[in-house]
Structure 1
Amino acid sequence: MENQLIPEEIIMNQIYYIRGQKVMLDFDLASLYDVETKQLKRQVRRNIDRFPEDFMFELTSEEYSFSRSQNGTLKQGENFKYSPMVFTEQGVAMLSSVLNSDRAIKVNIQIIRIFTRIRQMLTDNTELRLEIEKIKNKLDNQDKNMEIVFKYLDELIEKKQEPQERKRIGFKPNGF
């Protein structure tokens, strides 16, 4: 790949799962874009029509405190005037249209590629799980079939082990 501005691990560690979506926090993005968080928020608020709820949302106070306790990412002791904004993959893509610096554009491209790679890994993982589940089902069915075969074999063996007395037929010399 081309020269990266930021190591992938740093970006990947700043992608969180909130409200069932992979998102990035405003202050992490501001740091990556090398702008102040208030500047990023100002640009988003000026262009709020570009950021519907599925592109960007603000954390509730409960989500904010939970994220801080769970991840340790939200800076404790700092008071935020506004709740942190979080951006989905589409929201991050839209940020490049409101932040016009060369760095913001390059970092955005890198972030979108990472989101795409994560989505592909999840898809591959899901496909692998489905294949494993199919194999398990086949093995379960084979186990059941083998049990039936062994049951029939046991029944046949039991029948052979119990010899029944048979009436003799045929020629009897001298009345025997």
Structure 2
Amino acid sequence: MNPATAAPEAISQRILFVRGYKAMLDAELARLYGVPTKRLNEQVKRNRERFPEEFMFQLTTEEFDDLRSQFATSSSPHGGRRSLPYAFTEHGAIMAATVLNSPKAIEMSVFVVRAFIRLRETLAAHQDLAAKLEALERKVGSHDQAIAGLIDAIRQLMAPPEPKQRRIGFITGENG
């Protein structure tokens, strides 16, 4: 992928949520950095001390099976992946660019970081919007109760008066 087509929007579509982290799979990151996935993973293994768990982790079989429907992979034993993929968080993606030490990897890491930033901003905006909607619902809910009370009072005023009942018993001075 060249920088012209590496818009943060395009890259952010490749960011997944795994174990509570925003992460990219090794194959996607390798494609962006212009290296084979095998080479990326070799460099990571040679520099394992630079990749703590919050930077990079290997998916479990269950996680990989859950994600498999989101991207095309071969399930054949002689094609596609033979090992579980690695997931790289934002910091892991930056670190991967440094261990690859190629001009393209370093150039593309800027776009990857921008994609993570844009995703973080989008999530924050959605959280702000959700909070505002909740406040509006509470406000409208209290208004609904007040309006319902007003409608009940108006209905009571509009109801025809109940007829006066005549008193039962003997009244003197009246002719029956």
1:67–1:73 CA contact under 8 A, matched in 2: no
The aligned runs of 1:67-78 (5 Å cut-off) are: 67-68=67-68, 70-77=69-76, 78=79
State the alpha-carbon separation in 2 of the partners of residues 97 and 157 from structure 1.
79
SS at match of 1:40: helix
State the alpha-carbon separation in 1 of the partners of residues 12 and 72 from structure 2.
13
1:24–1:86 CA contact under 8 A, matched in 2: yes
1:67–1:74 CA contact under 8 A, matched in 2: no
- Whichever residue aligns with residue 129 of structure 1, its letter is A
Partner of 1:141: 142
Using the TM superposition, give the Cα deviation of residue 90 of structure 1 relative to its aligned residue in structure 2, in angstroms.
1.6
State the alpha-carbon separation in 1 of the partners of residues 23 and 108 from structure 2.
15
> Unmatched 5+ residue regions in structure 1?
166-176
State the alpha-carbon separation in 2 of the partners of residues 80 and 47 from structure 1.
22
Alignment of 1:61 with 2:53, yes or no, is no
Which range moved further: 144-153 or 4-13? 4-13
Percent identical pairs in the alignment equals 36
- Whichever residue aligns with residue 88 of structure 2, its letter is F
Greater relative CO (CA pairs within 8 A, separation 6+): 2
State the alpha-carbon separation in 2 of the partners of residues 90 and 79 from structure 1.
27
Using the TM superposition, give the Cα deviation of residue 155 of structure 1 relative to its aligned residue in structure 2, in angstroms.
3.7
State the alpha-carbon separation in 2 of the partners of residues 14 and 89 from structure 1.
12
Q: Give the alignment's Cα RMSD to 1 decimal.
A: 2.3
Using the TM superposition, give the Cα deviation of residue 142 of structure 1 relative to its aligned residue in structure 2, in angstroms.
0.6
State the alpha-carbon separation in 2 of the partners of residues 5 and 35 from structure 1.
18
Partner of 1:107: 108
State the alpha-carbon separation in 2 of the partners of residues 129 and 116 from structure 1.
20
Using the TM superposition, give the Cα deviation of residue 55 of structure 1 relative to its aligned residue in structure 2, in angstroms.
1.1
> Unmatched 5+ residue regions in structure 2?
166-176
SS at match of 1:22: strand
**TM-score, structure 2 as length reference:** 0.79
Partner of 1:132: 133
Partner of 1:14: 14
Partner of 1:90: 91
State the alpha-carbon separation in 2 of the partners of residues 157 and 6 from structure 1.
68
1:5–1:107 CA contact under 8 A, matched in 2: no
State the alpha-carbon separation in 1 of the partners of residues 116 and 18 from structure 2.
15
**TM-score, structure 1 as length reference:** 0.79
- Figure out how many residues of one structure are paired with residues of the other and give that number: 161
State the alpha-carbon separation in 1 of the partners of residues 72 and 116 from structure 2.
19
In the TM superposition, what whole-angstrom CA distance separates every residue of 1:49-100 from its partner, at most 9, and x where no partner exists?
21111111111122223322x2133344325343211111121122122121
